[in-house]
Amino acid sequence: MLQLVRIVLVLVPVQGLAFDFGQFTRCVPIPRHMGICQDVGYSEMRLPNYLGQSSLETQVVPHSERWRPLLETGCHPQARVFLCSLLAPICLDTFIQPCRSLCAAVRDGCAPVLACQGQAWPDVLDCDRFPGHDDMCLSATITHGNIVLKGLPRATCQDCPATEEFPSLKSTMDAICLNDFAVKAKLARRRFASTETEFEVEGRLEFVRQGPLLLYDTRTMLEQWLLINPHCAQALVRPGRAQLYLVTGRVRPDGTLALALLFPWHKKDVNLVAASRKWKHHQC
């Protein structure tokens, strides 16, 4: 029933599962500006929702937007399905909640991201509150047509990597040798009127050492790393200003991405330029 193409997440402070299954409900179209619940496989939602929210404009839509930062970390591929099943429940003759197993899977993937940001998994999303598989509930499965999803490296919470200004040629070559990959990337931080910040990778990526990374997935992984580790990202990038880095790192045995050492790439830094050219013929 549910097809998911794009995944993202964020934490919404809510007061509790206040829904009364005996109260009157109505079906309404999912508003277009409720972005996180677009293209989830259905177009109408039930109000009040499972969080007891009855007003689209003052409750449901604003709360849904507060979840966006967590969703954008990609902490779990079914996080959006889980969240929208509560905020914008499908309008059927039967009330359908998310299964306890779906809640637990999303919690296990996203709670560590919240912990990295100093937040706990909210009590209102205690998985024991949701029905087991013996009951009728939503146990989402994600399909992408005939595309087979591979186990790509994923960003995770970590201690902030070190940076080194104007490194020597030797220290740069050593860092590339000691790590799985080295990529030239411009990290940016934009500030919006809402005072929320967004981190992104601008322009084209250039690999010095590609290692196990794939070109089209590396940008997303780096942006997710910035979102999962905002305290590190804030130290690396100033608001409204992009900074070019040579980013080195490795892929841990559990498949998580760990950044190791970052070199700010300045125009006058001849050693970084020399290292990127010599690497092709260098033996560690």
Q: What is the CATH number for 161?
A: 2.40.50
Range of the domain at 242: 154-281
CA atoms of 36 and 83, how far apart (whole Å): 9
Question: Are 97 and 41 within one domain?
Answer: yes
| Whole-number pLDDT of residue 153 | 85
| Whole-number pLDDT of residue 39 | 87
CA atoms of 130 and 95, how far apart (whole Å): 12
| Whole-number pLDDT of residue 144 | 39
Domain with residue 65: its CATH number is 1.10.2000.10
111, 138, 165 - which closes a domain: 138
What are the angstrom distances between the C-alpha of 112 and each of 25, 91, 107, 118, 245? 35, 32, 8, 10, 27
Sign (positive or negative) of CA dihedral 237, 242, 247, 250: positive
Q: Tell me, yes or no, whether 20 lies in a domain.
A: no
71, 104, 138 - which closes a domain: 138
What are the angstrom distances between the C-alpha of 125 and each of 5, 25, 128? 24, 22, 9
Question: Are 171 and 276 within one domain?
Answer: yes
| Whole-number pLDDT of residue 12 | 33
Question: Are 81 and 170 within one domain?
Answer: no
Question: Is 0.85 topped by the overall pTM?
Answer: no
Question: Are 108 and 163 within one domain?
Answer: no
Q: How many domains does the chain have?
A: 2
The token pair at 263 is 């070199």
What are the angstrom distances between the C-alpha of 6 and each of 29, 112, 216, 217? 20, 21, 15, 14
Question: Are 130 and 159 within one domain?
Answer: no
| Whole-number pLDDT of residue 111 | 95
Number of neighbouring beta carbons within 10 Å of residue 248: 25
Question: Are 163 and 270 within one domain?
Answer: yes
| Whole-number pLDDT of residue 82 | 95
| Whole-number pLDDT of residue 233 | 94
Whether 80 and 4 have beta carbons less than 8 Å apart is answered as yes
| Whole-number pLDDT of residue 149 | 40
Give every residue of the chain whose pLDDT is below 50, as ranges: 1-16, 18, 142-150, 195
Q: Tell me, yes or no, whether 169 lies in a domain.
A: yes
Q: Tell me, yes or no, whether 9 lies in a domain.
A: no
80, 104, 138 - which closes a domain: 138
CA atoms of 179 and 215, how far apart (whole Å): 17
Question: Are 164 and 116 within one domain?
Answer: no
| Whole-number pLDDT of residue 197 | 63
The structure tokens 């997935």 sit at: 217
Whether 22 and 61 have beta carbons less than 8 Å apart is answered as no
Query: Would you state the torsion angle of the CA atoms of residues 50, 54, 58, 61, taken in this order, to the nearest 10 degrees?
Result: 40
